[in-house]
Amino acid sequence: MCGIVGVLNLFDSAPVPVEILRQMLGMIRHRGSDEFGIYRDEWANLGNARLSIVDLSGGQQPISNEDETLWIVFNGEIFNYPKLRSQLEAQGHRFKTDCDTEVVLHLYEEYGADCLNYLNGQFAIALWDTRSYTLFLGRDRLGIRPLFYTVCKGQLIFGSEIKTLLAHPSVTARIDTDALAQVFTFWSILPPRTIFEGIQTLPPAHYMIVREGYLSIDRYWELDFTEDVERDRSTQDYLDEFEHLLIDATLMRLRSDVPVGAYLSGGLDSSTTTALIRKYTQNRLDTFSIAFSDPEFDESHFQRQMSALLGTNHQVVHCTQSEIGDIFPEVVWHTETPMLRTAPAPMFLLSRLVHQHNLKVVITGEGADEILGGYDLFKEMTIRRFWSKQPDSKLRPLLLKRLYPEISQFGSAEAFLTAFFKQRLTDTDFNIYSHWLRWSNTARLRRLLLQPPIDSLNTWIEDRLPLPAKFGSWSSLGQAQYLEMTTFLAPYLLSCQSDRVSMAHSVEGRFPFLDYRVVEFCNRLPDSLKLRGLTEKWLLRQLASQMLPAEIWQRRKRPYRAPIHRCFFHTHTPDYVSELLSESAIRATGLFNPSAIAQLVRKTESGRPLSESDDMAIAGVISTQLVNQLFVAEFPSRISSLTKTDKIKVINGTIKEEITV
């Protein structure tokens, strides 16, 4: 796992000073401080900050092919690289390292852009062809590893994080107000946009080819929820295939030259992958989890139970509300985007714990909810579609109590929630039926923004969320899964809660459920094997029942959440919160309505109960103000303080020398 940077001259050849490349690498030294390398010629400049996981003594980047006509920097892991290497050697390719990066290089040499279809992994690739003066950029299918770029003053500037681009003297940050409106609607910003004007992300499952100043972006893989046509397949057949795929995906992700740990949340997903590791390996296994001081969010009882059952060496980070508030600016520095949640903060603390125990790699259960219908949102949709067939029924909306049993504790709230879920109840042909309630409810927060109101939220969403041609042929669950995976999984979950906060401490997360073979298999499953009635992840539960205690595999899904307003407003409210939410700061940023923010602050400070929307608003406003402060107002002053001197291997064309810069 690494971080990469690059600068390509689009029209005129001119060497880029090493100092600029050093600054760009310095901004992501947290992604890999083991080694630094740069390739330079008059057109292309590639840099790498390496976190050594495979081929520790070799594999220094940039890496070239035999005649040094191709150069690559690479961020990620290719889990099937041994098989690919054997095939390439049989085709006559010769290797000088034992790392997966060189396999990608020779695979491109053999197949060009089609090489991406052979890779099973998580990656961002930059490859320079000195013969055709062609730059090739590629990103993994699900968007596990990030890649950002901008075009500025005749140069394509790219890197693993936005801060690397901002370290280039030609690039400055400006908040994109439409992207901000997306956060306050979808909970995230849809690719290729980012929160900054002119800075984009290469979408998942896409590649870019740059030649003669022209940028071409194409898709090489796509989600498809067309159901399996083998109607006579038995449930046992599906279970056997699923088990085989998940075991292989898990064991494949243990491939490493350094120890591999695992996150253990106490839920179904991480408990299953951890149990598979224990079942099929004999190695010592370190597991890690979060314990919250607030019992509303704490699951430590189940974590301890699973650790004891599996015999792991278990470590726990104890997370308090005030600690979340204290570290939130650092979290935003790494996530580089506004957020409506504080959930990335505990994950930031968890990866720090992993780093303190000298581990670089962890297996996690992320992705199971998306591919197997695990979220409450999918069950809400199922209930509403059933209810819509008899919209005046008094009994059908009572199913919401099964989904949210706590509703009955709040008296009049039951009637309120029934009215809430009845909105657009019979509009079942609506393309975004499954997500409409979430997005329309969140979009009410846009009243906090200074932007003028829009005429139609439907039209606004449709303009920003193009749907694939097959979308209408998929089941309602398949459609909902597609929307969740494209608007939430890659742009938020795999970014803010995974890559960015783990790599902040040089920790690589690996995701068996997001092996593309597992994803493709689950996407083809009959709906009843994913969501059976109101039982989510049904097929996974059948597999887990063979390995886990009933208390774990049968337990109700509990989404991972973290407290919000109590983290920022308490007896020792952090100074930055008061400063950023002051009327003068809100006016200076120019993004929010000062009177609306003042009202929100007064309500929070009064101690009155807050709605979930209020909580999301607080997180969204504070994180946006932090983004503006860290990347717009103060970033130039941070470059010199954060960029340290390192020994970097610099390759100037065919001249190699080691220099300290």
Distances (CA, A) of 461 to 182, 195, 281, 464: 9, 17, 47, 5
pLDDT of residue 555: 86
Output the six-digit token pair for 564.
Answer: 């919000």
Beta-carbon contacts of 411 under 8 Å, excluding residues fewer than 6 positions away, are none
pLDDT, tens digit (0-9, with 9 covering 90-100), for 292-335? 888 887 788 889 999 999 999 999 999 999 999 999 999 999 99
Q: Are residues 324 and 395 in the same domain?
A: no
Range of the domain at 451: 376-479
Q: DSSP assignment, residue 592?
A: B
Query: Does residue 366 sit in the same domain as residue 382?
Result: no
The reply to whether 485 falls in a domain is no
3-state class of 95 per DSSP? coil
- Asked if residue 33 is part of any domain, the answer here is yes
Percent of the chain whose pLDDT exceeds 90: 81
Tell me: do 165 and 272 sit in the same domain: no
Q: Please give the pLDDT value at position 413.
A: 64
Task: Tell me if 541 is assigned to some domain.
Answer: yes
- The Cα–Cα gap between 134 and 132 comes to 5
* DSSP sequence for 434-466: HHHHHHHHHHGGGGGBSSPPPS-HHHHHHHH--
Instruction: Judge whether residue 105 has pLDDT over 90.
Output: yes
Please report the pLDDT score of residue 58 as a whole number: 61
Segment 387-436, tens digit of pLDDT: 999 999 999 998 988 887 765 554 556 777 788 899 999 999 999 999 99
Are residues 309 and 210 part of one domain?
Answer: no
Which residues, at least 6 apart from 20, have a Cβ–Cβ distance to it below 8 Å?
7, 167, 168, 169
Element (H, E) at 252: helix 235-252
Q: Show the 3-state SS of 551-608.
A: HHHCCCCCCCCCCCHHHHCCCCCCHHHHHHCCHHHHHHHCCECHHHHHHHHHHHHCCC
> Within a domain: residue 532?
yes
On whether both 433 and 387 belong to a single domain, the answer is yes
The H or E element that residue 315 is part of is strand 313-319
Number of domains into which the chain is organized: 4
Residues 70 and 216 placed together within one structural domain of the fold:
yes
Co-location of 109 and 182 in the same domain? yes
Q: Clarify whether residues 163 and 28 are in a common domain.
A: yes
DSSP state of 17: P
Query: Lowest-pLDDT range, 63-72, 185-194, 253-262?
Result: 253-262
Q: How far apart are the first and last CA of the chain?
A: 23
Average pLDDT for 148-162: 98
**Residue 247 belongs to a domain with what CATH number?**
3.40.50.620
Query: Is 491 within a domain?
Result: no
